[in-house]
Amino acid sequence: MNPLVLPSEEYRDAYLRITRLALHFLGTLDQQPCFPEISGDESVALFAQPLPEQGMGPAAFDMLQSVIDASRPPSPRFFGYVLGSGEPIAAAADLLASVLNQNGTAWRSGPAAACIERLVTEWLSQAIGCQGFVGILTGGGSSANLSALAMARESRLRANEHGIRKTVAVYASEQVHMSIPKAIALLGIGRDQLRLIPCDDNFRLRPDLLRQSIESDRRAGTTPIAIVASAGTVATGSIDPLREMASIAREHDVWFHIDGAYGALAAIARPQLFDGMDLADSISLDPHKWLYQPLDCGCLLFRDRSLARRTFSFTGDYAKTLHENPVESFAFFEQSVELSRRFRALKLWLSLRYHGLANFRLQIQNDLACALHLASLIEANAEIELLAPIPLSAVCFRYVPRSAPRTDAELDELNLRILTSIQRRGRVYISNATIRGRFALRACIVNHRTTPADVEAVVEEVAAVGRELTSGARP
């Protein structure tokens, strides 16, 4: 008797128990705090148990409620970071994907997984106005950006054959996401070879300074290999001038990558904001942000599948395909970093089929409208100051008490205290950013459950906590 193979009724009972927990969790989201009421030490102590030598059977499920209680719920009032909200139809598909346990690395290891992933990446390219791109699903934007820059390096240096024998440079705005310098370091280019180009007053890269930096590097004997544009910076949601940057990339024969992990999928609802995105060589985007998919579900789109193969193909004999049929011989591992790959595409495919692109478009429009609504409430409040434009759904602001004017340093300290108090209270969850050297409160709306009333609670909480702190009352 195999102790790991259970009777079907035990599987049924286990799945029903988990399903009941999940349904109760979803049905009570509005009553839950935005962050669990638990400390770091308490969370460690809660799960600090020895490895069981003997199985616990159904009693193993007894702590699942504790797992839920110690987890951050996808609340409609969670506005920290840039994180989607876990659409439940997609989550159900994720359970099936785990049961099927397909390695989506090639057609022969998962026919449905390979076909559906190729299809959904085609859907995504169409949805954002970039027909003709192909792609892969990744763990997130960081993996996608790393892969894109590996392709950029290979396209200009043939590094897989000859190594890096030149001094090279990559260009991005001073607002670039932290995954870009990390990728450059991992690729052996060196972080000091990342040229951070200053931005204009709207936090968008200045093309004139980009061109000057490239020309200066060429005169010094440095080889430019890639320009990285941001289609939604993490702090403010700013979108770089994509068409102008694409023109500079063509002029100087460098790879043009767009980091659209945050913003690119907003092109489904506001295509005019992303003029020139179709001119990129590669684009990263995150369905687990603005298509609300459960983690993890990132994506890299690119034009040249042959270059992807040249960059990533290194196949051992045991994995080489013996098929001549173009479908049956297809392998993602020939054009990506991963060999073992989850069936990430199933949840996205089912979610898009169930709801349709039009409903996702409406919800993205709702998130954008909620951000503008929040900005209008801030501008109408005499004690809260808007600190940056709102091109997408990130809103940066600070509390400024009018009764007792303070220096910028004092306001930084006050707003840090406001942030920690708000997070502890649990009614809303916001994060922070640095805007022109100042500490800012930040709310980012990428949640399919958020309503105008939810963002109104942000202003209410900031004003209430700000007044309590400045009056000496305990928040």
pLDDT at position 324, please? 76
The reported pLDDT for the residue numbered 323 is 65
Structure-block tokens of residue 66: 């504790």
For the chain, the average pLDDT equals 94
Q: What residue spans of 109-238 are helical by DSSP H?
A: 111-127, 141-157, 159-162, 179-186, 207-219
Beta strands in 159-202 (DSSP E): 168-173, 194-197
pTM: 0.94
Residue 469 pLDDT: 93
- Residue 296: cis peptide before it, omega within 30 degrees of 0: yes
Q: Which pLDDT does position 316 carry in this prediction? A: 60
Architecture of the domain whose range is 358-471:
Alpha-Beta Complex (3.90)
CATH fold group of domain 93-355: Aspartate Aminotransferase; domain 2 (3.40.640)
Residue given tokens 């954008």 in the structure block: 368
Confidence tier at 411 by pLDDT (50, 70, 90): very high
State the pLDDT at residue 319.
53
| Residue range 451-475: mean pLDDT, rounded | 89
- Tell me the DSSP string of 219-234: HTT-EEEEEEEEBS-T
In this prediction, residues 265-287 reach a mean pLDDT of: 98
- CA distances in angstroms from 201 to 134, 240, 246, 248, 435, listed in the order given: 35, 12, 21, 21, 11
Sheet holding 134-138, edge to edge: 134-138, 298-302, 282-285, 255-260, 223-230, 168-173, 194-197
Q: What integer pLDDT is reported at residue 320 of this predicted model?
A: 60
Q: d(Cα 298, Cα 289) in Å, to the nearest integer?
A: 9
Q: Is the pLDDT of residue 475 over 60?
A: no
pLDDT in tens, 331-356: 999 999 999 999 999 999 999 999 99
Strand partners, 399: 384
**DSSP H/E element including 380:** helix 357-380
**Mean per-residue pLDDT for 420-446?**
96
Higher pLDDT, 201 or 317: 201
Query: Quick one: CA dihedral 122, 127, 130, 131, positive or negative?
Result: positive
DSSP string, 358-376: HHHHHHHHHHHHHHHHHHH
Q: State pLDDT tens for residues 140-199.
A: 999 999 999 999 999 998 766 666 778 999 999 999 999 999 999 999 999 999 999 999
Q: At what angle do helices 179-186 and 141-157 cross, to 10 degrees?
A: 50
User: Model confidence over 5-55: pLDDT tens digits?
Assistant: 999 999 999 999 999 999 999 999 988 999 998 999 999 999 999 999 999
Over pLDDT 90: what percentage of the chain? 88
CA 176, chain centre distance (Å):
14
pLDDT by residue (tens digit) across 52-80? 999 999 999 999 999 999 999 999 999 99
pLDDT, tens only, 81-92 = 899 999 999 999
Q: Rounded mean pLDDT of 212-230?
A: 97
Question: Domain residues of the chain, as ranges?
Answer: 93-355, 358-471
So what's the pLDDT on residue 405? 74
For the chain, what is the total number of helices (H) and then of strands (E)? 16, 11
pLDDT for 1: 81
Confidence of residue 404 (pLDDT cuts 50, 70, 90): confident
Q: What is the DSSP string of 414-425?
A: HHHHHHHHHHHH
3-class SS of residue 91? helix
